[in-house]
Amino acid sequence: MRRALLWGASGRRSRRRRDDEGAAALEFALILPILVMLVFGIIAFGYMLSFRQAMSQAAAEGGRAAAVKPAGTPNDERYAAARAAVNDALSAYGVACTAGGGLTHSGGPSGTCTIVIGACSSGPAGAECAKVTLHYPYSDNSLIPGLGINAILPDDLEYSTEVRVS
């Protein structure tokens, strides 16, 4: 069997060794799974960070929506406004706050959404605040399931905000 003749850097012909022909393919096959897991890990972590920021924003927007209602507005309307603001902020992730105080992901229960209008925990006596607390057990309800990377992600995400109403 003839071996391929190649021109070397010195301009002389050299023979490629038959043992080296599959080395690059073998090395690539060994490294590829690690590289793929690293890329998917970065994607999953980035998506979780994006969701975490959206939860923080949703809690703040929910509190603000309840607080900006005019004085004398019934609390039911404040609750509805807060829920609508939370749902708007989390809709891109398929997560919603229900009237029953739960978070749902793609229709299934997946956490809690607590909206309370009452006395403020700090500030002037007699002041009324809207407090929105979102709790999402991320380890049980991952937004990117089945990658096997969730072990490095947080178990729970929880955000709370309190906004003075009056």
Residue 24: per-residue pLDDT: 84
Domain residue extents for the chain: 20-164
Q: What is the pLDDT along the chain (166 residues), one digit of tens a residue?
A: 455 555 555 656 555 555 666 888 888 889 999 898 888 888 888 888 999 999 999 999 999 999 998 878 898 999 999 999 999 999 999 999 999 999 999 888 999 999 999 888 887 888 889 999 999 998 888 877 666 676 778 889 999 999 998 6
The residue type of 137 is P
Residue 6: per-residue pLDDT: 56
Residue 16: per-residue pLDDT: 57
Residue 141: per-residue pLDDT: 81
Q: Compute the C-alpha angle 24/28/29, nearest 5°.
A: 120
CA nearest to 158, candidates 112, 95, 97, 116: 112
